[in-house]
């Protein structure tokens, strides 16, 4: 089976967002990802985008991220994560 390439139309008013922290929560029928920008040297963060997806889409997203991380590391080398204190992680699961 061949996959047709999806033609994505991004309007000019859509701007990229930078996020260095994501909070993830879930209910029985959805996952919510709060993409935040944590302000350095403070305990504050600004919400940049909130994305809600189905559990099935969350599973596909995990697979796509895993595949892309493997490709990235094959090309650029292993990504090392420093030992981090619990409060400084960049993913929070609620």
Helix (H) or strand (E) holding 51: strand 45-53
Nearest to 92 by CA among 19, 23, 41, 38: 23
Q: What does the pLDDT look like over 26-71, one tens digit per residue? A: 999 999 999 999 999 999 999 999 999 999 999 999 999 999 999 9
Q: What pLDDT sits at residue 54?
A: 99
Q: What is the pTM of this model?
A: 0.77
Q: Are 52 and 61 in contact (CB under 8 A)?
A: no
User: Is residue 36 packed enough to be buried (19+ CB in 10 Å), middle (13-18) or exposed (0-12)?
Assistant: buried
Residue 53 tokens, joined: 């997806």
Judged against a pLDDT cut of 90, whether residue 7 lies above it is answered with yes
Percentage with pLDDT > 90 across the chain: 79
Which residues, in sequence order, are CB contacts of 30 under 8 Å at separation 6+?
52, 53, 54, 55
Using 50, 70 and 90 to split pLDDT, how confident is the model at 10?
very high
Which residues, in sequence order, are CB contacts of 33 under 8 Å at separation 6+?
22, 23, 24, 50, 51, 52, 53
């Amino acid at each position: 089976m061949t996959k047709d390439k999806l033609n994505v139309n991004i309007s000019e008013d859509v701007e990229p967002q930078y996020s260095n922290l994501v909070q993830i929560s879930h209910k029985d029928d959805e996952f919510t990802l709060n993409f935040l920008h944590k302000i350095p040297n403070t305990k504050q963060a600004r919400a940049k985008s909130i994305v809600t997806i189905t559990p099935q889409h969350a599973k596909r997203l995990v697979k796509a991220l895993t595949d892309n991380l493997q490709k990235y590391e094959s090309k650029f080398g292993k990504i090392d994560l420093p030992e981090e204190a619990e409060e400084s992680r960049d993913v929070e699961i609620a």
